[in-house]
């Protein structure tokens, strides 16, 4: 090969090498561009998720603060009634409630006030006779007026009769009044009113101080604080602890927790927050206070017991939800709330809400038939609720890949899928409720207290408040007037045999004396 040919081949080889190098460089640039596109897509998806979450939170906040009531999530009872219309059972229940209200009003003390005809100048326009000659017609025209008589205090001067034998060697003195605190100057009714006002009505002590002053009796706030703690620690704590023990023994327990501000936190010089936990078994409602939200409180209350625990997905309950302890049952109301919050960004969430409504329609029908927690109720769930849950499961899996994982709809779907085993527990037992709403309702008094008196002083005060909540809530759940109950129980419980403490529990309480006249 000539020199000229060799040089051409070398030139071609060099050109090929240059093209290959350029090709490799462009490939690297293309890969870098693809990587950049992937990064940008990921950032875009992440930003879209954040924007969707922020939009959903903003919509929920606007509904809560500024929205009409119709824009807020309606209670399931209203949705069921809208679907079914008013049933004969609803009408009968309303009529029964009206009758109970009428009967309650009839029991109120009645004061007869007579209004006399003015006789001066009154005469018959027909015969001219004066009013002195008029005769009464029947019992007169009667009308009822309901009036409020302000509460009042009285100073009771108790005089214990003392008798002496003529022989001069024996003296007998009548027993004194019942006291909650030895040597105390405040009677059971006063302390009961203080406890009910604080625990049931969430009235701060400083407001009670002002009320008492208006009614004519100055009571220092420090005195009320002392009475509050002494009455609970000496009298109500054993009753509250016994209620918690009975809840421990129950096969189905509902639980939830919420925050409560605490002024003095044990491990910090700064104010912090504690937690109030509620545990419910039918008509028994117990509360516990703790300085943290760890799972120690559920373990202390329910550790070593068996049965079902109906809770949300919070991991703090994991310590008592295990094969060796309690089976975890989920809350369909939590699922419903998450899909409702997704409606503004994902209209398809309405399909989930419609299927959840079908489940509640079954529960409503069982209640109307009076078969709740019976074998017939379970059969109805398996025949009608189980197919709905299967449709719901398939729908969730179909929708799971179509929505941003961290968006409101994606989070709602993930919550339902991840907790599916717990959410289907109600299909296995007629004793397991569909939701955890009862425990959420029991925490409303805590939320109201948090709004009114903001915080508790320390963990001891929080624990005593939880004991008080336990007794008062169980009273109300069993239809017992908490004021009458405490007025009777406070002087009795300290001398009552511990082996017969169950006699003094709200659900078993029998008054020792006739209830006082509240007029």
* DSSP class per residue in 285-313: EEEEEESS-STHHHHHHHTT--EEEE--S
- Each residue's pLDDT, cut to its tens digit, for the chain (519 residues) gives 556 667 777 777 787 787 888 888 888 888 888 877 777 776 776 676 667 666 666 766 665 565 554 446 777 777 777 777 666 666 777 777 788 777 877 777 888 888 888 877 788 888 878 877 788 787 777 888 777 777 778 888 889 989 999 988 899 999 888 888 777 788 899 999 999 999 999 999 999 999 988 888 899 999 999 999 999 999 999 999 999 999 999 999 999 999 999 987 655 555 678 999 999 999 999 999 999 999 999 999 999 999 999 999 999 999 899 888 999 999 999 999 999 988 888 899 999 999 999 999 999 999 989 999 999 999 999 999 999 999 999 999 999 988 888 888 999 999 999 999 999 999 999 999 999 999 999 999 999 999 998 889 889 999 999 999 999 999 999 999 999 999 999 999 988 898 999 999 999 999 886 555 544
The number of angstroms, rounded, from the C-alpha of 266 to the middle of its chain's C-alpha atoms is 27
Over the Cα atoms of the chain, what is R_g?
A: 35
pLDDT at 70: 43
Q: How far apart are CA 519 and CA 507, in angstroms?
A: 26
Q: At what angle do helices 3-65 and 332-341 cross, to 10 degrees?
A: 110
Q: What are phi and psi of 280, to 5 degrees?
A: -125, 140
Q: How far apart are CA 37 and CA 34, in angstroms?
A: 5
pLDDT at 519: 40
Contacts of 84 (CB under 8 A, 6+ apart): 361, 364
pLDDT at 156: 86
Spatial contact of 424 and 331, defined as CB atoms under 8 Å apart = no
pLDDT at 5: 66
Buried b (16+ CB within 10 A) or exposed e, 474-502: bbbbbebebbbbbbbbbbebeeeeeeeee
Q: At what angle do helices 459-477 and 188-199 cross, to 10 degrees?
A: 100
Contacts of 415 (CB under 8 A, 6+ apart): 313, 334, 335, 338
Q: What are phi and psi of 416, to 5 degrees?
A: -65, -45
pTM, full prediction: 0.80
The residue among 195, 194, 205 whose CA lies nearest residue 153 is: 194
Q: What are phi and psi of 247, to 5 degrees?
A: -65, -40
pLDDT at 398: 93
pLDDT at 330: 95
């Amino acid at each position: 090969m000539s020199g000229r040919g060799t040089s051409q081949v070398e030139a071609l080889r060099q050109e090929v090498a240059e093209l290959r190098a350029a090709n490799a460089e462009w490939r690297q640039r293309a890969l870098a561009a693809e990587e950049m596109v992937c990064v940008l897509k990921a950032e875009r998806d992440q930003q879209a998720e954040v924007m969707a979450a922020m939009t959903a939170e903003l919509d929920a906040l606007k509904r809560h603060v500024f929205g009409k009531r119709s824009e807020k999530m309606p209670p399931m009872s209203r949705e069921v009634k809208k679907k079914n219309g008013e049933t004969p059972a609803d009408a009968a229940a309303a009529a029964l409630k009206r009758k109970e209200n009428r009967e309650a009003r009839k029991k109120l003390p009645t004061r007869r006030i007579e209004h006399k005809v003015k006789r001066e100048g009154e005469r018959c326009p027909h015969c001219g006779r004066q009013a002195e000659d008029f005769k009464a017609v029947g019992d007169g025209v009667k009308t009822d007026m309901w009036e409020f008589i302000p509460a009042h205090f009285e100073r009771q001067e108790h005089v214990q009769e003392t008798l002496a034998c003529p022989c001069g060697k024996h003296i007998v003195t009548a027993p004194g009044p019942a006291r909650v605190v030895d040597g105390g100057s405040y009677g059971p009714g006063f302390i009961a009113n203080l406890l009910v006002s604080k625990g049931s009505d969430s009235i701060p002590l400083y407001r009670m101080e002002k009320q008492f002053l208006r009614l004519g009796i100055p009571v220092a706030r420090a005195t009320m604080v002392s009475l509050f703690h002494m009455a609970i620690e000496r009298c109500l704590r054993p009753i509250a602890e016994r209620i918690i023990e009975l809840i421990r023994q129950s096969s189905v327990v509902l639980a939830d927790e919420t925050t409560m501000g605490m002024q003095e936190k044990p491990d910090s010089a700064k104010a912090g927050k504690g937690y109030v936990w509620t545990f419910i078994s039918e008509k028994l409602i117990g509360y516990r206070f703790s300085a943290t939200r760890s799972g120690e409180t559920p373990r202390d209350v329910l550790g070593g017991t068996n049965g079902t625990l109906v809770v949300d997905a919070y991991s703090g309950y994991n310590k008592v939800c295990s094969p060796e302890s309690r089976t975890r049952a989920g809350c369909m109301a939590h699922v419903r709330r998450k899909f409702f919050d997704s409606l503004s960004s994902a209209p398809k969430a309405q399909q989930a809400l419609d299927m959840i409504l079908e489940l509640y329609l079954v529960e409503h029908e069982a209640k109307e038939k009076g078969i709740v927690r019976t074998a017939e109720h379970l059969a109805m769930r398996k025949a009608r609720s189980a197919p709905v849950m299967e449709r719901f499961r398939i729908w969730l899996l179909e929708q799971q890949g179509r929505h941003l994982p961290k968006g409101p709809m994606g989070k709602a779907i993930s919550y339902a899928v991840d907790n599916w085993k717990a959410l289907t527990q109600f299909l296995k037992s007629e004793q397991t409720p569909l939701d955890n709403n009862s425990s959420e309702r029991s925490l409303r008094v805590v939320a109201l207290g948090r709004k009114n008196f903001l915080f508790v002083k320390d963990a001891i005060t929080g624990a005593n408040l939880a004991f008080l909540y336990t007794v008062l809530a169980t009273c109300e759940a069993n239809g017992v007037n908490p004021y009458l109950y405490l007025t009777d129980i406070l002087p009795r419980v300290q001398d009552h045999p511990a082996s017969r403490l169950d006699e003094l529990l709200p659900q078993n309480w029998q008054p020792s004396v006739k209830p006082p006249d509240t007029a």
